[in-house]
Amino acid sequence: MDEKPFETMNVIPFVDIMLVLLTIVLTTSSFIASGRIPVNLPQASKSVSQADKAVIIELNAAGDMFFNGRLVAQESLKALLAPIERETGFVIRADKDTTLQRFIDVADLLKQLKFTKVAVQTKSRN
């Protein structure tokens, strides 16, 4: 038998696999970036990116408070914050329809406990 060496490599199956992997990555990354708790963020002229290792405190329009995705009461928030290092960053995601007092209560508690790296997440205006 006359066997020929490979002259060209068929890359179409490789491209198909890469497109499927790209689709999976893009689909899952959109779920991760949006978060699980629906919060309608207020708009600002410039949006600050969220830190990777920041503790997230979320306030929804109904007045519920979430600490890293877990529903917590405002009274128990101080106990959850007490053991955290003071250099830890915080991101407050408050719904634009939440009461200002709920937001101020969280910000004031972080100030009382001497946390200095606090950011408020917003949507940028287009």
In a domain, 68, yes or no: yes
In a domain, 10, yes or no: no
Sign of the C-alpha dihedral, residues 67, 123, 39, 34?
negative
Q: Which domain holds residue 98?
A: 43-124
Q: Is the pTM of this model over 0.95?
A: no
In a domain, 29, yes or no: no
In a domain, 47, yes or no: yes
Per mean pLDDT, which of 3-12, 47-56, 60-69 is the most reliable? Answer: 60-69
In a domain, 2, yes or no: no
In a domain, 77, yes or no: yes
Could you tell me the pLDDT band of residue 20, with boundaries at 50, 70 and 90? very high
- Does residue 61 register a pLDDT over 80? yes
Query: Alpha-carbon distance 97 to 114, whole Å?
Result: 27
- Does residue 33 register a pLDDT over 70? no
Query: Alpha-carbon distance 54 to 59, whole Å?
Result: 16
- What is the domain count for the chain? 1
pLDDT at 16: 92
pLDDT in tens, 75-108: 888 899 989 988 889 999 888 888 888 889 999 9
Average pLDDT estimate for 70-76: 88
CATH number, domain at 58? 3.30.420.270
pLDDT at 50: 47
pLDDT at 45: 67
Query: What tokens does 70 get?
Result: 């877990």
- Give me the percent of the chain exceeding a pLDDT of 70: 78
* 8 A C-beta contact, residue 124 and residue 46: yes
Query: Alpha-carbon distance 59 to 37, whole Å?
Result: 9
